[in-house]
């Protein structure tokens, strides 16, 4: 049941973006980890690259840094959550186990997208028409572009 990219990732999350919403990038090559870990998980490095690319593609101005920073933080949070979620059920999982795991991961992605929406709305309201056009193109490709 390897489902690594719908939004992405929400994700990232923009997933995410968000990426947060960019789960194909965020999850590529990572091993499953337990949900309960002793130390917080840093966001995958790919999310920082996605944030930098988004900043460049949208040509964020100094006046737009604050709302962009909010979007970037949501992307980082979403990436951490997605990275901490088991990516695949055990090898001996049943079809029911597979479906449960898929639903759990999908709910995680949806939660990340819901967190991204107000942050993106705030940023989008500050964008120029040209920047909005660029944002529309980036997000049609999926969060994080």
pLDDT in tens, 92-141: 889 998 898 889 889 999 999 999 999 999 999 999 999 999 999 998 87
Q: Tell me, yes or no, whether 145 lies in a domain.
A: no
Q: Taking the complete model, does pTM exceed 0.75, yes or no? A: no
Q: Tell me, yes or no, whether 69 lies in a domain.
A: yes
Q: Tell me, yes or no, whether 85 lies in a domain.
A: yes
Side-chain-side CA neighbours of 52 within 13 Å: the count stands at 5
| Structural domains in the chain (count) | 1
Contact 17, 75 (CB under 8 A): yes
Q: Tell me, yes or no, whether 12 lies in a domain.
A: no
Q: Evaluate the CA torsion angle 104, 8, 28, 80 in order and state its sign.
A: negative
Domain that holds residue 120: 23-140
């Amino acid at each position: 049941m390897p489902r690594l990219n719908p939004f992405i990732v929400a994700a990232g999350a923009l997933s995410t973006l968000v990426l947060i919403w960019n789960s194909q990038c965020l999850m590529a090559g990572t091993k499953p980890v337990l949900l309960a870990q002793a130390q917080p998980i840093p966001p995958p490095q790919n999310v920082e690259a996605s944030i930098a690319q988004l900043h460049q593609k949208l040509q964020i101005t100094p006046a737009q840094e604050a709302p962009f920073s909010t979007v970037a933080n949501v992307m980082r949070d979403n990436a951490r959550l997605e990275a901490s979620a088991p990516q695949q059920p055990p090898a001996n999982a049943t079809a029911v186990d597979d479906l449960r795991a898929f639903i759990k991961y999908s709910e995680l992605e949806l939660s990340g997208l819901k967190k991204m929406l107000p942050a993106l709305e705030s940023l989008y309201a500050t964008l120029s028409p040209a920047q909005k056009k660029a944002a529309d193109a980036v997000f049609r490709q999926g969060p994080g572009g």
